[in-house]
Amino acid sequence: MKEKLEQLKTLLAEAIDLQMAAAVLGWDQQVNMPSAGAETRGQQMATLQRLAHIKATSDEIGKLLDDLSAYTEELPPDSDEARLVKVARRDYEIATRVPADFVAEFTRLTAVAFDAWQKARAASDFALFRPHLERIVEMGRQYVEFFAPYEHPYDPLLDRFEPGMKTAEVKEIFDALRPQQVALIQEIGAAQQVDDSFLHGDFDEQKQWDFGVEVITRFGYDWSRGRQDKSAHPFTTSFSTRDVRITTRVQRDFLPSALFGTLHEGGHALYEQGVNPAYDRTSLAGGASLAVHESQSRTYENLVGRSLPFWEFFYPRLQEYFPAQLGNVDLQTFYRGINKVQPSLIRVEADEATYNLHIMLRLDLEIAMVEGSLEVRHLPDVWNTKMQEYLGITPPDDAQGVLQDVHWSSGLMGYFSTYALGNLIAAQLWEKVSADIPDLEDQFRRGEFGALLAWMREHIHQYGRKFEPQELVERATGSRITPEPYMRYLRRKYGEIYSL
């Protein structure tokens, strides 16, 4: 049976190689490619993804999985071999429901849609993107029907990013979280507001870039296995543990954008670089889920990057980069400023207390589009109405409203809720790591982040996709995903900042 297991690994590796080749083309499209190449690039990526899908759904793989089922039952259930077959079977059962031609067409569509989104966002004109999104939603509904019967039509889309999670579970978590977050925001709104005017000004782009590089290098990002580039929307992509790339975007007039974007993507990259390298070119490569992935990016962006101990070490260095802008701003003022709570238009620049409301809004809209109760043509108006309902503000234009996120142009419907779930997981992990490493904050004050990374590598990173997300979180923290640690974190932190 070991021979058949090796045969399975070989076949899976060939399919994964093709997927990674398509991913390289996707990275290049967002970083280097001239916009006129979108149509041809979409066809190239479609060909690769179609070939990868045909390989991944071959009868030969199906037979090997059947033959290996009895063998793996005799192995320790948590062994790499048993888990590899289990994950590969799940992937196979999902993939075989989806025709190869559908995969190719969807890949081509989203490559062209991404280019249309970039142009629409630059022009702040939803009409330029609308026909592409209408087709993406239509194909999303087709995808859902491949998995009938289902409890909710959104379930198959969510399951792509959060294995095993149901729409009802997410709604239950959000329903418990929403009133607590709204109450906290109202309390903060009644308190004296902090000053963040010093974050708006003229900040040299290269210096912003260099400072971000300095920080994530100290976090442990391995530049021999990674790189950073600029893109319209920050992202991380991984082709193996030996090639993990990040991007950021720099706003000259607003310091936090590139800074926290770089820290966020650096957290994702640390996860990918920390997966057991033996899992490269297998079904166990990559992160357990998007929510677990977000727990890592939000940890480094917020729980570390917006903490006072972090800035006790790094703020003097940042002042050296920007003496004219920050030289007369003391540490406490800076710390309070980067943690200012105020409803805002842009999700990726939202503060921790309001961020999840941005996610809940998008989840509502995605579910409505999938159910058919919201037509794409009405999306900008409904978006603006929901922004007023959730956050009390209305976007002045499409670029700062419905067009701000890249996800729908990439066909990533079902993705958004994982951001909020990632916040919850991050807080759960933080309570555990803080208990295991009592002097963690003192280490940050000295600019030492190795113990944190080692803990994450031991409890999260190394396992890749070996465990489903709820199982992994429970193994690491003793509990399934729950909002209580996150609310404790928010109340403690903002209670101090706003004297609540």
Is 154 contained in some domain?
A: no
Count CB atoms within 10 A of the CB of residue 142.
14
Domain containing residue 464: CATH number: 1.10.1370.30
In this structure, the answer to whether residues 224 and 308 fall within a common structural domain is yes
Q: Is residue 331 part of a domain?
A: yes
Residues 189 and 141 in one domain: no
Domain that holds residue 458: 167-497
The verdict on 12 and 126 lying in the same domain is yes
Q: From the first residue on, what is the mean pLDDT of each consecutive set of 10 residues in the chain (500 residues)?
A: 94 98 97 94 97 97 95 93 97 97 96 96 98 98 97 96 93 92 93 97 98 98 98 95 97 96 98 98 97 98 98 98 98 98 93 95 96 97 96 96 96 94 97 98 98 98 96 96 94 96
Active-site position among 169, 265, 366, 468: 265
Q: Are residues 102 and 143 in the same domain?
A: yes
**Is there a catalytic annotation at residue 265?**
yes
Selection from 195, 180, 179, 177 nearest residue 497 by Cα? 195
Q: Are residues 37 and 171 in the same domain?
A: no
pLDDT at 463: 98
What is the model's pLDDT at position 233? 87
Name the 3-class secondary structure at 290.
Answer: helix
Q: Judge if 134 and 174 occupy the same domain.
A: no
pTM (2 d.p.): 0.94
Residue 135: how many CA atoms within 13 Å on its side-chain side?
17
Q: At what angle do helices 308-321 and 331-338 cross, to 10 degrees?
A: 110
Q: Alpha-carbon distance 379 to 132, whole Å?
A: 13
CA distances from 14 to 101, 165, 402 (A): 19, 29, 39
Query: Same domain, yes or no, for 123 and 174?
Result: no
Residues paired with residue 240 on neighbouring β-strands, in sequence order: 243
Number of domains in the chain: 2
The CA distance from 82 to 69, in Å, is 9
**Which of 17, 143, 144, 7 is CA-nearest to residue 62?**
7
Q: Are residues 121 and 188 in the same domain?
A: no
271 and 187 in one domain?
Answer: yes
User: Is 428 a domain residue?
Assistant: yes
